[in-house]
C-alpha cells in the first residue's frame, strides 16, 4: 500500500488508509482517499491492461497477483450528432456503462473495493443493495472466491433476487428499516471482519474516478463543459469529479467540467436541500420513481454532493418519471438501451436546455449508468408497437410499408 491517508470530506481530519469504517469519527461525514497530485497514465494496450493497471498511479494499491478483474471499464464513449442537433448543444456524448461485466458502472467501484479488501487480507466482503451493487459485489465475490454476504430488503421481487443469487453469495432478505441497514451492516462488518463495499465507501468512489480518466483520454484531454450524473448515494458523482480534479492537478487536463446532479423528482433529497438553501440533506418522504437505481431517500454522501456541486458551480435538477421514460425511448432510438436511471441524464439535459441553463456552445457528457435489460418492467410503460401478418401476405405487407 502506498503511503497515503483517508481524509474527512468535511472537517479534513485524517485516518489510516487501512481503516474500513467509511465515515469520520468527529463529524460522521464520508471519508475519501487523499487526492493524488502527481501521476500519469501507464501506457499499454487496453486489450491487455485492466483499469487498475492503466491508472495505477491513481490508486494506493497495486493489482495483486490474484487478479480478480472481469475486464470492467473501458466502456464506449458514444457521440450523438443527431441528439446534439435536436437539443441544440455543440456536442453530446454518452458514456455507456451498461458495457460492464454486470451491466452497470458499479463494477468499477467493486473491483477497486475488492482489491483493497484483498490487500488488507480480508476474506469476507458484503454490501447492502437490492439492485446493481448487489449483483456486482456477488459477481466479484464469486470471482475472488471470497465469502460474500448481501443484505437485501425482505420485499425484493424475485426477478431482482435471482440475478444476485446466481453467483451464490450468502443472500439475506432483511425485514426492517432499509435506511438503518447501511449503518447496521457497518457495525456487523466491524464485528465479523467483513469488508462492506457499500454505495459511497472510499474505495468504491475511487473506482468511479476511472470514468473520468477514460473520458479524458477519449476526448483528447479536452473534457466536456458539463457532466450529468444520475445521483442516488452520491458516490459515483464524487468519484467522477475527483477523477477530473486529480487529472487536472497532475497537469493532464486544464479544466474540470461543471457537474450536474440529476435526480428523479419522486426521490430528490439532494435537489430539495439545494432549493431550500440547506447545508444538509434530510430524508425524502415517500420516495416513488421508476428509476429504482436512484431511489435512496437519505443519501449517505448527500451533504458532500451539496458542498462539492456548490463549489464546482454545478447544477441540481430533478426530472419526472414521464421525462425519464421519454429519454429512455429517445436514447433507444439512438441505439442505446438504458435502464430508467441511466436515461435520467438525457432527461435532465432536455430540461436544462429548455430552462437555458445549458447553452448552444456547450459540450455535454451524459453518464448512462446501467443497461435496460436490468429492469424490463419499465418496457410496459412504453406504448411499443409490433405488426403481425400471415406468411403468404408477408412480401406484400412489407412492400406497402417499406
Ligand X SMILES: *Cc1c(COP(=O)(O)O)cnc(C)c1O
Sign of CA dihedral 301, 306, 307, 308: positive
For ligand X, the binding residues in 283-312 under the rule CB under 6 A are 293-294
Rule CB under 5 A: say whether 19 interacts with Zn ion. no
Q: How many C-beta atoms lie closer than 10 Å to residue 281's C-beta?
A: 23
Tell me how far apart the alpha carbons of residues 99 and 103 are, in angstroms, rounded to a whole number.
6
Contact residue for Zn ion among 2, 14, 19, 26 (CB under 5 A): 26
With binding defined as CB under 6 A, does residue 143 bind ligand X?
A: no
- Our finding on whether 11 is near Zn ion (CB under 5 A) is yes
Q: Which does 11 bind (CB under 5 to 8 A by kind): ligand X, Zn ion, none?
A: Zn ion
Binding flag, residue 328, ligand X (CB under 6 A): no
What b/e string do you get for 157-191 counting C-beta neighbours within 10 Å, with b at 16 or more? eeebbebbeebebebeebeeebeebbeebbeebee
**By three-state DSSP, how is residue 162 classified?**
helix
8 binds Zn ion (CB under 5 A): yes
**Closer residue to ligand X in complex, CB, 75/231:** 231
* 256 is a contact residue toward Zn ion (CB under 5 A): no
Q: Does 130 bind ligand X (CB under 6 A)?
A: no
49 lies in the binding site for ligand X (CB under 6 A) = no
Torsion sign (Cα): 274, 275, 280, 286: negative
Whether the CB-CB separation of 146 and 109 falls below 8 Å is answered with no
SS3 236: helix
- SS3 of 355-392: the string is CCCCCCCCEEEEEECEEHHHHHHHHHHCCCCCCCCCHH
Residue among 4, 15, 27, 76 that touches Zn ion (CB under 5 A) = 27
Q: For Zn ion, which stretch binds (CB under 5 A), given 11-19, 194-202, 361-369, 386-394? A: 11-19
- Compare residues 93 and 375 and give the one whose CB is closer to ligand X: 375
How many Å apart are CA 91 and CA 361, to the nearest integer? 9
CB-wise, 50 or 132, nearer to ligand X? Answer: 132
- Of residues 56 and 72, the one with the C-beta less far from ligand X: 72
Q: Of the ranges 249-257, 323-331, 339-347, 392-400, which one interacts with ligand X (CB under 6 A)? A: 339-347
d(CA 207, CA 60): 12
How big is the site for ligand X, counted in residues (CB under 6 A)?
20
Q: Does 34 bind Zn ion (CB under 5 A)?
A: no
Nearer to ligand X, 166 or 394 (CB): 166
The stretch among 23-31, 100-108, 285-293, 337-345 that binds Zn ion (CB under 5 A) is 23-31
- Residue whose CB is less far from ligand X, 115 or 236: 236
Is residue 31 part of the contact set for Zn ion (CB under 5 A)? no
Choose the stretch contacting Zn ion; rule: CB under 5 A; options: 13-21, 55-63, 199-207, 271-279: 13-21
Candidate segments 2-10, 54-62, 93-101, 123-131, binder of Zn ion by CB under 5 A: 2-10
- The DSSP element (H or E) to which 133 belongs, if any, is helix 132-144
User: Among 12-20, 69-77, 271-279, 346-354, which window interacts with Zn ion (CB under 5 A)?
Assistant: 12-20
- Listed in sequence order, the DSSP H helices in 25-80 are 51-54
Q: Does the protein bind ligand X through residue 132 (CB under 6 A)?
A: yes
Strand pairing partners for 153? 174
- The C-alpha cell at 314 is 454545478
Write the interaction track for ligand X spanning residues 194-223; mark x where CB under 6 A is met and - where it is not: -----x------------------------
Interacting residue with ligand X among 110, 197, 369, 372 (CB under 6 A): 369
Instruction: Report the partner that residue 8 touches, choosing among ligand X, Zn ion, none (CB closer than 5 to 8 A by kind).
Output: Zn ion
Least CB distance to Zn ion at residue 273 (A): 19
Tell which residue, 157, 101, 129, has the closest CA to residue 370: 101
Establish how many alpha carbons lie within 13 A of residue 241's alpha carbon, considering only the half-sphere containing its beta carbon. Answer: 25
Pairing of strands 226-230, 363-368: parallel
What is the dihedral sign for C-alpha 383, 388, 394, 400? Answer: negative
Residue nearest to ligand X (CB): 370
For residue 1, the tally of other CB atoms under 10 A from its CB is 13
Tell how strand 5-8 and strand 14-16 pair up: antiparallel
Residues contributing to the site for ligand X (CB under 6 A): 104, 106, 131-132, 199, 230-237, 293-294, 339, 341-342, 369-370
Residues contributing to the site for Zn ion (CB under 5 A): 8, 10-11, 13, 24, 26-27
Amino acid at each position: 500500500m502506498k503511503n497515503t491517508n483517508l481524509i474527512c470530506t468535511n472537517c479534513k481530519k485524517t485516518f489510516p488508509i487501512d481503516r474500513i469504517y467509511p465515515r469520520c469519527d468527529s463529524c460522521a461525514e464520508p471519508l475519501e482517499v487523499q487526492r493524488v497530485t502527481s501521476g500519469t497514465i501507464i501506457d499499454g494496450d487496453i486489450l491487455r491492461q485492466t483499469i487498475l493497471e492503466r491508472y495505477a498511479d491513481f490508486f494506493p494499491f497495486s493489482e495483486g497477483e490474484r487478479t480478480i478483474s472481469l475486464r470492467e471499464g473501458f466502456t464506449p464513449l458514444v457521440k450523438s450528432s443527431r441528439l446534439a442537433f435536436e437539443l441544440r448543444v455543440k456536442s453530446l456524448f454518452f458514456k455507456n456503462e451498461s458495457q460492464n461485466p454486470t451491466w452497470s458502472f458499479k463494477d468499477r467501484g467493486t473491483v477497486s473495493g475488492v482489491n483493497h479488501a484483498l490487500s488488507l487480507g480480508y476474506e469476507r466482503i458484503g454490501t447492502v443493495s437490492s439492485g446493481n451493487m448487489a449483483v456486482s459485489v456477488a459477481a466479484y465475490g464469486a470471482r475472488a472466491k471470497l465469502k460474500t454476504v448481501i443484505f437485501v430488503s425482505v420485499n425484493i421481487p424475485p426477478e431482482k433476487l435471482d440475478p444476485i443469487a446466481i453467483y451464490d453469495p450468502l443472500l439475506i432478505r432483511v425485514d426492517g428499516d432499509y435506511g438503518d441497514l447501511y449503518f447496521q451492516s457497518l457495525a456487523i462488518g466491524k464485528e465479523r471482519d467483513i469488508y462492506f463495499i457499500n454505495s459511497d465507501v472510499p474505495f468504491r468512489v475511487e473506482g468511479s474516478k476511472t470514468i473520468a480518466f477514460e473520458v479524458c483520454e477519449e476526448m483528447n484531454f479536452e473534457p466536456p463543459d458539463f457532466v450529468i450524473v444520475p445521483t442516488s448515494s452520491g458516490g459515483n458523482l464524487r468519484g467522477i469529479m475527483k477523477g477530473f480534479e486529480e487529472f487536472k492537478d497532475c497537469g493532464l487536463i486544464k479544466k474540470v467540467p461543471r457537474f450536474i446532479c440529476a435526480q428523479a423528482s419522486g426521490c430528490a433529497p439532494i435537489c430539495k436541500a439545494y432549493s431550500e438553501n440547506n447545508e444538509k440533506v434530510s430524508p425524502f418522504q415517500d420516495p416513488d420513481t421508476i428509476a429504482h437505481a436512484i431511489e435512496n431517500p437519505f443519501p449517505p454522501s448527500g451533504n458532500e454532493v451539496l458542498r462539492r456541486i456548490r463549489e464546482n458551480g454545478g447544477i441540481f435538477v430533478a426530472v419526472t418519471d414521464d421525462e425519464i421514460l421519454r429519454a429512455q425511448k429517445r436514447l433507444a432510438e439512438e441505439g442505446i438501451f438504458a435502464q430508467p436511471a441511466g436515461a435520467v441524464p438525457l432527461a435532465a439535459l432536455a430540461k436544462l436546455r429548455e430552462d437555458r441553463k445549458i447553452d448552444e456552445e456547450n459540450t455535454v457528457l451524459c453518464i448512462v449508468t446501467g443497461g435496460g435489460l436490468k429492469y424490463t418492467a419499465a418496457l410496459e410503460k412504453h406504448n411499443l408497437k409490433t405488426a403481425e401478418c400471415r406468411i403468404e401476405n408477408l412480401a406484400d405487407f412489407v412492400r406497402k410499408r417499406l
